[in-house]
């Protein structure tokens, strides 16, 4: 399984409208497709991430720094290849970008290993679950959007096959966002999973105020409640003052960052993103840390890979996706054989590797030149 070539393809699809979280605005959907070819004719077919600002730099790291390290190597030597690539993150540079680049290559290698053995990545990781609950990332801030509109959005998400929703908060006052949550719960009904995500939007006191206002609405988790600069300590303080489980980890870029959150007593759930933190290989380490410490595992977005990973561990929770094609046209259109979703449940693909067949006409239309 000698690696013969590595190609990184940046894709950017402009969105028809802008979606807002507490600290950001989204106007495009971006990703990188990493095609690793072996001398035996196998080719990876998987995509990673949503880097909206540095796609070309990400591709350059993959093709000019990482590819020379692994060309001619056995693609099955996954830990050794990861160890060869990781030192590129030691220099004084944008280390998050390097870890994203490593993730792209590492994910492609897992796809190849699965294809070579005729086994899904889920199977390679030792999983036996055939399905998982799937929830939407939605409830964004949009111009003119009212709480009543948010309630109607929850109804639509249920009709679209979602088991629940992770909605955006943290961009308004605790009281105003609590009103939005109440409207979402009223629209969703009592048996719909409802989580909230502040994207590091509040100080401790405002986060606690919000949590106490919405506890009665059966919130599955409160994600990244506090500002970035002392997030572990601040989340630990919030966690001690609310009954809502605290979720974080998507802003970490290594399993060591996950360990930091666990040791601080900051989290009940970790949603470490394999596409931003070194790939499946590093994600396994983070998931093992969580298992040892009794912490549940989610995954930040990336349903095309997260379904395999979360189904492989007993402490995996829900797959996340963007069911609105206006928010994620790639999930809607890029995968020709997308896993079936029905009544809030996604089927875990059992084809070799990640089992993806991509629409290369769409790729050609939106790839950055």
What digits encode the pLDDT tens for the residues 295-341?
Answer: 999 999 999 999 999 999 999 999 999 999 999 999 999 999 999 99
Residue ranges of domains in the chain: 3-119+358-366, 123-347
pLDDT at 71: 98
Strand-pair partners of 248: 270
Q: What is the dihedral of CA 5, 255, 51, 326, to 10 degrees?
A: 110
Assess whether pLDDT exceeds 90 at residue 118: yes
Summarize the confidence of residues 228-257 as an average pLDDT.
98
Summarize the confidence of residues 247-256 as an average pLDDT.
98
Burial of 336 (0-12, 13-18, 19+ CB in 10 A): exposed
pLDDT band at 164 (very low <50, low <70, confident <90, very high): very high
pLDDT band at 94 (very low <50, low <70, confident <90, very high): very high
Burial of 360 (0-12, 13-18, 19+ CB in 10 A): middle
Summarize the confidence of residues 163-171 as an average pLDDT.
98
What tokens were used for 239?
């966690």
Q: Which candidate, 305, 304, 272, places its Cα nearest to that of 287?
A: 272
Element (H, E) at 296: strand 296-297
Q: pLDDT for 168-190, tens place per residue?
A: 999 999 999 999 999 999 999 99
Assess whether pLDDT exceeds 80 at residue 346: yes
Considering only the top CATH level, what class is 3-119+358-366? alpha beta
Chain centroid, CA 72 distance in Å: 31
Assess whether pLDDT exceeds 90 at residue 369: no
What tokens were used for 136?
């939407």
pLDDT at 84: 98
pLDDT at 24: 86
Q: pLDDT for 16-62, tens place per residue?
A: 999 989 888 999 999 999 999 999 999 999 999 999 999 999 999 99
Summarize the confidence of residues 66-86 as an average pLDDT.
98
Whether domain 123-347 has CATH 3.50.50.60: the reply is: no
Summarize the confidence of residues 112-140 as an average pLDDT.
97
Domains 3-119+358-366 and 123-347 in one fold: no
Whole-model pTM?
0.97
pLDDT at 49: 95
């Amino acid at each position: 399984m000698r690696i013969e070539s590595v190609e990184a393809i940046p894709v950017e699809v402009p969105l028809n409208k802008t979606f807002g979280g507490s600290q950001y605005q989204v106007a495009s959907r971006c990703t990188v497709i990493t095609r690793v070819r072996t001398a035996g004719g196998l080719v990876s077919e998987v995509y990673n991430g949503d880097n909206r600002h540095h796609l070309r730099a990400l591709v350059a790291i993959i093709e000019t720094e990482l590819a020379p390290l692994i060309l001619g190597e056995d693609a099955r030597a996954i830990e050794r290849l990861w160890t060869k690539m990781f030192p590129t993150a030691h220099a004084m540079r944008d280390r998050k970008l390097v870890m994203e680049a490593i993730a792209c290559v590492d994910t492609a290698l897992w796809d190849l290993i699965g294809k070579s053995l005729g086994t899904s990545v889920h199977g390679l990781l030792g999983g036996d679950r055939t399905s998982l609950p799937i929830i939407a990332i939605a409830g964004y801030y949009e111009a003119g959007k009212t709480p009543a509109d948010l309630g109607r959005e929850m109804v639509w998400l249920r009709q679209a096959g979602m088991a629940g929703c992770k909605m955006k908060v943290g961009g308004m006052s605790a009281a105003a966002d609590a009103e939005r949550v109440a409207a979402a719960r009223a629209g969703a009904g009592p048996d719909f999973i409802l989580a909230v995500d502040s994207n590091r939007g509040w100080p401790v006191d405002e986060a606690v105020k919000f949590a106490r206002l919405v506890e009665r609405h059966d919130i599955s988790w409160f994600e990244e409640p506090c500002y970035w600069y002392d997030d572990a300590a601040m989340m630990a303080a919030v966690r001690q003052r609310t009954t809502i489980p605290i979720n974080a980890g998507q802003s970490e870029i290594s399993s060591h960052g996950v360990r930091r959150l666990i040791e601080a007593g900051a989290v009940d759930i970790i949603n470490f993103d394999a596409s931003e933190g070194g790939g499946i290989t590093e994600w396994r380490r983070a998931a093992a840390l969580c298992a040892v410490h009794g912490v549940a595992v989610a995954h930040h977005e990336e349903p095309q890979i997260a379904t395999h990973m979360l189904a492989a561990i007993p402490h995996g929770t829900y797959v996340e996706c963007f069911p609105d094609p206006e928010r994620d046209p790639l999930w809607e259109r890029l995968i020709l054989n997308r896993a079936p979703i029905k009544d809030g449940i996604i089927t875990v693909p059992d084809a070799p590797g990640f089992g993806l067949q991509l629409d290369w006409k769409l790729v050609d239309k939106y790839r950055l030149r």
